Amino acid sequence: MIAVLKHGTTPQQVNHLVNWLKQMNLDVHLSEGTQVTVLGLIGDTSRVDMDLLKSLEIVETVKRVSEPFKQANRKFHPLDSVIACGDVPIGGGHFAMIAGPCSVESEEQIIEVAQAVKASGANILRGGAFKPRTSPYAFQGMKGEGIRLLLKAKEATKMPIVTEIMNISTLDLFADVDVIQVGARNMQNFDLLKELGKTNKPILLKRGLANTLQELLMSAEYIMSEGNENVILCERGIRTFETATRNTLDLSAVSVLHNLSHLPVVVDPSHATGKASLVAPMAYAAAAANADGIMIEVHNNPSCALCDGPQSLTPAQFDDLNRRVRKVREAIL
């Protein structure tokens, strides 16, 4: 990190600042020119509050020359991470096809969808039990009972399961869940992230509705800094001025994240587009962008779904999508 000081800063002021920075266990390299003084901060600058430093009266500008995320950073971990989701690896060339309904609605529904998507080639089952809904009057999910039914579907199909946690107080219910999802709305629920960092469960971390990729990586860092390195990133669309789609799918996120981080990157075209007709083309595009996995909402009767019916595919549509995604992957590899 580099801090440029304002012209006219006195030696006492520089000393004061240097001492303060040294207290943070940083080495400070001082370079005094005729016009400006530049401080080079060496060491773990992830703990330096850049905005605070910038706000000091004698500071002109502050620039990071390395990213504030360390454990998620590819520089310190050049090889792709491979995360074991139950017996399904993801990352480093291992591709995950995650499919299932937005919400678990009944035993028949989840088992029927699970068997159908497995037959079509899905290798991880999704299903929401705790649902973050915009309206408090909308279906909130089957909660603990939903997890119990997901476990039945896991038993029936032998597929690992992923489901969303909204509050750490429910963690005990996730004991047999293979992957815990942190949804877009909780991407910056730092207390939740820290607690999940104390577990050893793989965490599927979805990008927030209005968050940058750096913020997504900093949220991954929250989990990893507590000891849990099993983080999978998920691009699910961000909010923009465009209203033709539910969100705007940022596909360049896949390459940006692959460049910056060793963590696997999954794309969710269902929440990104909000429209069933757009899900397949964006899934092909995600596969072409070399995503490590794709997550698709599938319902046995989308028009009657309790949540996200308009973006849900039928099992037959999913079957077609999966076949073509495999072809795209073969074409680019």
**Positions that interact with Mn ion (CB under 5 A):** 102, 308
Q: Minimum distance from CB of 282 to Mn ion (Å)?
A: 15
**Which among 8-16, 62-70, 178-186, 323-331 is the span making contact with ligand PEP, rule CB under 6 A?**
178-186
Does 118 help bind ligand PEP (rule: CB under 6 A)?
A: no
Are the C-beta atoms of 248 and 236 separated by less than 8 Å? no
- Binding at 1: pick from Mn ion, ligand PEP, none (beta carbon under 5-8 Å per type): none
- Binding at 132: pick from ligand PEP, Mn ion, none (beta carbon under 5-8 Å per type): ligand PEP
SS3 106: coil
- Write each residue from 30 to 49 as x if it is in contact with ligand PEP (CB under 6 A), else as -, in one continuous string: --------------------
- Binding at 184: pick from Mn ion, ligand PEP, none (beta carbon under 5-8 Å per type): ligand PEP
Q: How many C-beta atoms lie closer than 10 Å to residue 46's C-beta?
A: 16
- 121 CB-contact burial (10 Å; exposed 0-12 / middle 13-18 / buried 19+): middle
Q: Which of 254, 172, 247, 179 is nearest to 216 (CA)?
A: 254
What tokens appear for 300 in the block?
């046995």
Strand partners for 42: 27
Question: d(Cα 299, Cα 312) in Å, to the nearest integer?
Answer: 6
| Site residues (CB under 6 A) for ligand PEP, limited to 223-242 | 236
**Which among 8-16, 81-89, 167-175, 181-189 is the span making contact with ligand PEP, rule CB under 6 A?**
181-189
| Site residues (CB under 6 A) for ligand PEP, limited to 197-216 | 206
The residue within the footprint of ligand PEP, chosen from 26, 102, 177, 313 (CB under 6 A), is 102
Strand pairing class (88-90; 179-182): unpaired
Measure the N-to-C terminal CA separation of the chain; round to a whole number of Å. Answer: 38
Q: Which residues bind ligand PEP (CB under 6 A)?
A: 102, 128, 132, 183-185, 206, 236, 271
